Amino acid sequence: MTQSPNDILDVLRRLQALDDEIRDICIARETRLERLARLRKVLELMNKELDDKRTKLVEAEKWERTKASELETEKDKLTKAKSKLSGVTRSREYLAVNKELETVRETIHKKEKEVDDLTTAVSDFRAAIGIEEAKHADLMKEAAVEARSNEEQLAAMDAKIAAVDARRKVISKDVERPILDRYARIAKARDGRAVVKIKDGSCGGCNMLLQPRYVEMVLRGSSLVQCTHCSRYLFAETAMNPDGSVVVV
């Protein structure tokens, strides 16, 4: 296969354009997957926090019931003490029972406040959990929509990557294997960019200034030129001055 440097460079530039397209699709693909993964991670953390709160709510409700039961026990004591008081005939015993009544009433008053505070706290906690559960449900819906959208978009992206890769394989046949292998090695080492344009006398990849003779060689198209600093293949887009001289665009 005999080809001019310009023909080879044209093939390499087309390969680079296709590789850029594939890379852009892959980046968009990864971005979608990462977003869904982050969403699912947030859901997982929210669900764990909700489970912890639900467990605490069950414990709080149990404590509330315990305190309510204690309150009922004190009320039973009060009822019995009142009944006992009605049957007392001696003053000393009357005073003792009356004191017992007062103590029970004070205990009941404290426990009623305690139960009321607990009921309010449990109610507020239950409401807060309800809000978190609503947020969790909304986020689950968002994740489900995102997952369905991803399935469609990823399938479309995979199809596009396959189509571009098929075109790439066809174009790759137009260049000799050693050059293609060298292109692949440079692309792998240089963030996927193996062919770059000269800009202001510098390599468009590493931005290092090129020796004028290399720039002249690129302009003439007499040979394949690689940057002496980063090894990328170089090309130049040119235009004609009014005086007929060639300039790099």
Q: What is the chain's pLDDT, residue by residue, as a tens digit (249 residues)?
A: 567 899 999 999 999 999 999 999 999 999 999 999 999 999 999 999 999 999 999 999 999 999 999 999 999 988 888 887 777 767 777 788 788 889 989 999 999 999 999 999 999 999 999 999 999 999 999 999 999 999 999 999 999 999 999 999 999 999 999 999 999 999 999 999 999 999 999 999 999 999 999 999 998 888 899 999 999 999 998 644 444 444 444
* Assigned fold of 5-172: Helix Hairpins (1.10.287)
Helix ranges (H only) for 87-194 are 91-172, 177-189
pLDDT of residue 242: 45
Domain ranges of the chain: 5-172, 191-248
Please enumerate in sequence order all residues whose Cβ is within 8 A of that of 170, keeping only pairs 6 or more positions apart, or say none.
Answer: none
Closest CA to 7 of 191, 174, 228, 166: 174
Strand ordering across the sheet containing 195-199:
202-203, 195-199, 233-235
Instruction: Name which of 232, 209, 18, 43 is nearest 136 in CA terms.
Output: 43
pLDDT > 70: percent of the chain: 94
pLDDT computed for residue 121 by the predictor = 96
Q: What is the rounded distance in angstroms from the CA atom of residue 4 to the CA atom of residue 179? A: 13
SS3 (DSSP) at 141: helix
The DSSP 8-state label assigned to residue 191 in this structure reads T
Query: DSSP code of 113?
Result: H
CA terminus-to-terminus distance, the chain: 31
Confidence at residue 2, expressed as pLDDT on a 0 to 100 scale: 60
What contacts 173, CB < 8 A, 6 or more positions away?
none
* Predicted pLDDT of residue 238: 66
pLDDT the model gives residue 108: 92
CA–CA gap between residue 217 and residue 210 (Å, rounded): 11
